[in-house]
């Protein structure tokens, strides 16, 4: 952790990430909890162990525990059609012959179309589960079948919203109450909840965008897919319980854990996703279980090696926190394997390509500006708005076109126009911002250049008497 203590603040400053919390699990024990930065930059409120984070799709892993608990209790069968458990809402008619099973919902092989959730700005006006599933909620599409169940891997939050409804139907209580009583509290996650309440409101950090500007709070009907609020200590307890055979792991059997950690297959091809958990292998062959969680203003991830008792939790209150997460995971991977991980370096190489591109654009622009200033000083270009109407329109076009181009560039990449609040830049390499600055500078150059007309053009109009 000493090397992280030195490097993480630098990366936070570089990528404008306000706050981060890390939990280390070693030899089946939580050995270290570290917090960096601010929960609220403006108020100078620092991150603490009990600071709440919104952890997005990590909710899916925790929800999978709820489903498996009901399976162990004999209340659910993974391979029965979900229609057998639904009374409050029905799946739409489809031309596909197979029926969706709970296993397929958990593994994203149900054939349901992709659906992400951006949350809602007004807590009092949250849609119902049925409204969300029917597409009667803002920025939410109705559930739609796009593939035969069991034939494709299609990551979809809508499948977990359907699982949320199934848990409510079978348990006879709200999803958040069921998860609190059956999963969160038994795991020692006493500062975690799927339901926004006063405790969360009091201690939750603010979420920030890639410029470190704060977002307003967002609320979720789709709790199973994206609505978990938790702390670094509680997530460390969850990772601890995810290890085979630990004393704390009495809630689910090792057989259930193994089932969740086994990648589903399409034919003979593993999908890399089990039941609510991503699965991959490290350089030394160790199997790693993980899930990331990205909501507007938030980015978090956990990693666990269940048969070795090793794990790490990384929570951030920035939607570009993944840049630091990849660095921390690389270091953790090196500790586990003794080999240098390329996970972070590959991302860095991509970022460096954009940095080099921005540098080249900037150097060329600087050369152009030097020559442009020289022409102004030697009066080869003059401020020339006193031209005829035709030439005036040309100047106006040359002035407005680069400005509109720059505005369009910024709008497409950085305005939250996608699905209720996402920006395109969120999923692009961070250093694209450097290219954006370079492109903006070029647009300013072209706009300014349009105002200074070549001397030959002015002389032409002087000669014809069309200008001064």
- CA 403 remoteness from chain centre: 31
**Which of helix, strand or coil describes residue 19?**
strand
Predicted pLDDT of residue 468: 42
The residue written with tokens 């009901």 in the block is 70
**Which of helix, strand or coil describes residue 401?**
helix
Q: How many CB atoms lie within 10 A of CB 1?
A: 13
Number of domains in the chain: 2
Residue 342 domain flag: no
331 and 391 in a single domain? The answer is: no
The residue written with tokens 């390509």 in the block is 353
Look at residues 311, 337, 363 and tell me which one is the last residue of a structural domain: 337
Query: 301 near 329, Cβ under 8 Å?
Result: yes
410 and 326 in a single domain? The answer is: no
Q: What is the CATH number of the domain that holds 81?
A: 3.40.710.10
How confident is the model over 418-447, as pLDDT tens digits?
766 788 888 888 889 999 999 999 999 999
225 and 333 in a single domain? The answer is: yes
147 and 166 in a single domain? The answer is: yes
Residue 227 domain flag: yes
322 and 354 in a single domain? The answer is: no
Q: How many CB atoms lie within 10 A of CB 454?
A: 13
Residue 401 domain flag: yes
Whole-number Cα distances in Å, 409 to 297, 413, 424, 436: 22, 6, 11, 8
Residue 49 domain flag: yes
Look at residues 291, 310, 337 and tell me which one is the last residue of a structural domain: 337
Say if strands 29-40 and 19-26 run parallel, antiparallel, or are unpaired.
antiparallel
263 and 396 in a single domain? The answer is: no
Name the CA radius of gyration of the chain, rounded: 27
283 and 428 in a single domain? The answer is: no
DSSP characters over 300-356: EEEEEETTTTEEEEEEESBTTTHHHHHHHHHHHHHHHHSS--SHHHHHHHHHHHHHH
Q: Is the dihedral of CA 77, 81, 87, 88 positive or negative?
A: positive
The residue written with tokens 């279980």 in the block is 289
Predicted pLDDT of residue 466: 46
Q: Which residues contact 278 (CB under 8 A, 6 or more apart)?
A: 272, 289, 290, 291, 292
Residue 364 domain flag: yes
DSSP characters over 202-216: HHBPPPB-TT-PBPP
Q: What is the pLDDT along the chain (468 residues), one digit of tens a residue?
A: 667 888 999 999 999 999 999 999 999 999 999 999 999 999 999 999 999 999 999 999 999 999 999 999 999 999 999 999 999 999 988 889 899 999 999 999 999 999 989 999 888 789 999 999 999 998 899 999 999 999 999 999 999 999 999 999 999 999 999 999 999 999 999 999 999 998 999 999 999 999 999 999 999 999 999 999 999 999 999 999 999 885 555 799 999 999 999 999 999 999 999 999 999 998 788 899 999 999 999 999 999 999 999 999 999 999 999 989 999 999 999 888 877 667 677 777 888 899 999 999 999 999 999 999 998 888 888 776 565 667 778 888 999 999 999 999 999 999 887 766 788 888 888 889 999 999 999 999 999 998 887 765 555 555 454 444
How confident is the model over 123-145, as pLDDT tens digits?
878 999 999 999 999 889 999 99
320 and 439 in a single domain? The answer is: no
Predicted pLDDT of residue 457: 53
Q: 173: which 2 tokens?
A: 């209580």
Phi, psi at 219, each rounded to 5°:
-125, 155
Look at residues 337, 361, 387 and tell me which one is the last residue of a structural domain: 337
Helix 322-337 to helix 343-377 angle, to the nearest 10 degrees? Answer: 140
Q: 307: which 2 tokens?
A: 């048969």
Q: 67: which 2 tokens?
A: 């489903």
Let me know if 219 is exposed, middle or buried by CB neighbors in 10 A (0-12, 13-18, 19+): middle
> Of how many residues is the chain composed?
468
The partner residues of 219 in beta bridges, in order of sequence, read 120
The residue written with tokens 């390329």 in the block is 342
Predicted pLDDT of residue 60: 98
Nearest Cα to Cα of residue 149 among 72, 79, 213, 208: 79
Phi, psi at 278, each rounded to 5°:
-80, 145
Q: How far apart are CA 4 and CA 24, in angstroms?
A: 12
- CA 126 remoteness from chain centre: 22
Say if strands 269-270 and 53-54 run parallel, antiparallel, or are unpaired.
unpaired
367 and 330 in a single domain? The answer is: no
327 and 370 in a single domain? The answer is: no
pTM reported for the whole predicted model: 0.89
Instruction: Tell me the residue range of the domain where 65 lies.
Output: 2-337
Nearest Cα to Cα of residue 44 among 19, 20, 23: 19
197 and 331 in a single domain? The answer is: yes
Q: How far apart are CA 445 and CA 50, in angstroms?
A: 50
Phi, psi at 428, each rounded to 5°:
-100, 160
Residue 442 domain flag: yes
265 and 362 in a single domain? The answer is: no
Predicted pLDDT of residue 384: 63
């Amino acid at each position: 952790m000493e090397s992280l203590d030195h490097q993480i603040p630098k990366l936070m400053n570089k990528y404008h990430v306000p706050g981060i919390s890390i939990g280390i699990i070693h030899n089946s024990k939580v050995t270290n909890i570290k917090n960096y930065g601010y929960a609220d930059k403006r108020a100078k409120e620092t991150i603490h162990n009990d600071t709440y984070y919104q952890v997005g799709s990590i909710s899916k892993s925790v929800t999978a525990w709820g489903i498996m608990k009901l399976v162990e209790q004999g209340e659910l069968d993974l391979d029965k059609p979900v229609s057998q458990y639904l009374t409050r809402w029905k799946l739409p008619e489809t031309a596909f012959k197979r029926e969706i099973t709970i296993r397929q919902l958990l593994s994203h092989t149900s054939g349901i179309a992709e659906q992400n959730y951006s949350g809602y700005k007004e807590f009092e006006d949250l849609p119902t589960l049925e409204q969300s599933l029917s597409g009667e909620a803002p920025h939410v599409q109705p559930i739609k079948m796009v593939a035969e169940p069991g034939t494709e891997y299609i990551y979809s939050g809508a499948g977990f919203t359907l699982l949320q409804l199934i848990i409510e139907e079978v348990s006879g209580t709200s999803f958040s109450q069921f998860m609190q009583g059956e999963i969160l509290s038994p795991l020692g996650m006493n500062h975690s909840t799927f339901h926004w309440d006063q405790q969360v409101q009091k201690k939750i950090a603010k979420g920030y965008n890639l410029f470190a500007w704060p977002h307003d709070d967002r609320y979720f009907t789709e709790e199973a897919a994206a609505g978990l609020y938790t702390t670094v200590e509680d997530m460390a307890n969850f990772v601890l319980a995810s290890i085979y055979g630990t004393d704390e792991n009495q809630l689910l059997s090792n057989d259930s854990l193994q089932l969740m950690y086994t990648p589903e297959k399409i034919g003979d091809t593993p999908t890399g996703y089990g039941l609510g958990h991503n699965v991959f292998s490290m350089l030394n062959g160790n199997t790693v279980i993980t899930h990331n969680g990205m909501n507007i203003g938030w980015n978090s991830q956990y990693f666990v090696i269940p048969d070795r008792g090793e794990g790490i939790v990384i929570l951030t209150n920035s939607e570009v926190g993944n840049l630091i997460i990849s660095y921390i995971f690389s270091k953790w991977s090196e500790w586990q394997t003794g080999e240098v991980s390329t996970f972070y370096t590959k991302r860095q190489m991509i970022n460096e390509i954009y940095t080099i591109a921005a540098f080249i654009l900037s150097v060329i622009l600087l050369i152009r500006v030097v020559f442009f200033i020289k022409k102004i000083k030697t009066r080869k270009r003059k401020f020339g708005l006193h031209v005829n109407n035709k030439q005036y329109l040309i100047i106006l076009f040359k002035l407005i076109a680069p400005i509109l181009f720059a505005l369009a560039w910024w709008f497409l990449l950085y305005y939250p126009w996608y699905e209720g609040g996402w920006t395109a830049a969120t999923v692009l390499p961070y250093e694209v911002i450097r290219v954006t600055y370079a492109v903006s500078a070029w647009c300013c150059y072209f706009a300014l250049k349009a105002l200074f007309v070549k001397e030959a053009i002015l002389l032409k109009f002087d000669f014809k008497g069309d200008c001064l």
